[in-house]
Amino acid sequence: MKRRVGTGAAPGKVILFGEHAVVYGRPAIAAALGTGLGATVEADATGPVLRIPAWGRGGQQVRLESAGGSFESISRAFAVALTQVGLISAEARQVAVTVDGGIPPGVGLGSSAAFSVAVLRALFDYAGHPASPQTVLAAAMEMERVFHGTPSGLDHTIVTHGGCARFQRGQAPTFESTFESLPVGRPLTLVVSWSPRELTTRGVVARLRERRERYPLPFERLFDAIGEVTREGQVALSNGDLEQLGLLFDHNHGLLSALGVSTLANEQLVSLSRRGGAYGAKLTGAGGGGAVLALMPEERCSSLVSTFEREGFKAFATTIEATP
């Protein structure tokens, strides 16, 4: 008898413009990466079991009833995924899920969204329930709430649909978010580097919300400025204007620093990127440590990656392709 198996995959992502301001109704632009996570589901009488070799947990069988510590949120999100797919009974949950791939966790590259979407796609495949992108998107949102509390919706939207897109979160009274695929005028060569996070995404977002409540006017002005940079970035992206995109990366990073979400490590990565010949550089994602994005001339990428590695950081080069 053929062994029952389900598979699913999802890319990582980078935010090119607009992080944090997107939570407060301004637009953001994000792009899917060429690397991501894959998930495989098989029947297992001892399940539900979750294994994540990609994150150094391949030898640890994580069970819903016993997971704790740093794995607690992953376990809770896994439980949400099983429920969203309709695997409710103890018998239906006798599964083992293995997740592997090239996205490091917790640095701002959409690891939780890629985990959510890849696992959901694999579970739907295993259960024999074809799932539309809208179904996957709604279920992934429930998982993202476990990880981040009040997610903007951007990460799992771009991870589900792929490509490069403009996202704007819905506001009262309809709260209907918009997602618009964007043209990319020429390939973008990027070097992604990262440092350990000092705060989780949930922690960074909560601290920023507290500061905004205390000083609403200056923070709203910063969000407005980020929104304007994002709109200008959309034009430069369509035109393939790398120098303008780099300048706008730098502007966006300065505004994120003013919001208080950058760290000394983020600033060091940005500085190394600029000294290494970047058109521009900025943190990507929530900040509080984590990833920095450098827009590079292609011939300078390998040198910059080597520089980061000599300084004790991890980095890789990737490309966002131009649209046909």
Residues recognised as catalytic? 155
Q: Which of 255, 267, 265, 191 is nearest to 228 (CA)?
A: 255
* 293/273 Cα distance (integer angstroms): 8
Q: Cis peptide leading into 48, omega within 30 of 0? A: yes
Strands annotated E in the chain = 5-17, 28-43, 49-52, 57-63, 95-101, 164-168, 178-181, 188-195, 280-283, 290-295, 314-320
Burial string for 42-80 (b: 16+ CB within 10 Å, else e) reads beeeebbbbbbebbebeeeebeeeebeeebebbbebbbb
Q: Which residues contact 188 (CB under 8 A, 6 or more apart)?
A: 31, 242, 245, 295, 319, 320
* 21/225 Cα distance (integer angstroms): 9
Say if CB 208 and CB 256 are below 8 A apart.
Answer: no
Instruction: Give me the amino acid identity at 80.
Output: V
Instruction: Mark out the alpha helices in 162-291 (DSSP H runs).
Output: 201-214, 216-239, 242-259, 264-275
* 235/231 Cα distance (integer angstroms): 7
Say if CB 321 and CB 184 are below 8 A apart.
Answer: yes
* 116/134 Cα distance (integer angstroms): 14
How many CB atoms lie under 10 A from the CB of residue 83?
Answer: 13
